[in-house]
Amino acid sequence: DTAVSQTPKYLVTQMGNDKSIKCEQNLGHDTMYWYKQDSKKFLKIMFSYNNKELIINETVPNRFSPKSPDKAHLNLHINSLELGDSAVYFCASSLTGGGRNTEAFFGQGTRLTVV
């Protein structure tokens, strides 16, 4: 069983398009995240979300929006894609207040290429 799964694994699209990346976790976690990893491997948190609070990194353009139909899913929707959006996007989940079990579990990533 895959703990955190993302689809699709690869996504190639044209500038100006709107796309979504889906994420699901089966760990019973209450917090989910989206990270962006650029070509230099730098990991930047974009959002963290639980059933109480959405925390947005202020540097993330409002073209990016997280959508959570339930606790096990956090999808990432991107409007008007730009060349600079090309990156690997990782979904992750963790248990808030989990004490020693607070680590985040990551999906395998979605490599987005905007042409």
- Least distance (Å) between residue 91 CB and other proteins: 9
Q: What is the 3-state secondary structure (H, E, C) of 8-61?
A: CCEEEECCCCCEEEEEEECCCCCEEEEEEECCCCCEEEEEEEECCCEEECCCCC
Alpha carbon distance 55, 49 (integer Å): 6
Task: Return the range that interacts with other proteins (CB under 8 A); candidates 11-19, 62-70, 73-81, 104-112.
Answer: 104-112
Q: Strands 110-114, 10-13: parallel, antiparallel or unpaired by DSSP?
A: parallel
Binding to other proteins, residues 48-87 (CB under 8 A): 48, 50, 53, 55
Q: Does 107 bind other proteins (CB under 8 A)?
A: yes
Contact residue for other proteins among 45, 56, 60, 72 (CB under 8 A)? 45
Contact residue for other proteins among 11, 23, 78, 92 (CB under 8 A)? 92
Using CB under 8 A as the binding criterion, the count of chain residues that bind other proteins stands at 28
- Tell the residue number behind the tokens 């989910």, with chain if given: 32
Alpha carbon distance 81, 16 (integer Å): 5
**Which chain residues interact with other proteins by CB under 8 A?**
4, 31, 33, 35, 40-43, 45, 48, 50, 53, 55, 90, 92, 94, 96-97, 99-100, 102-109
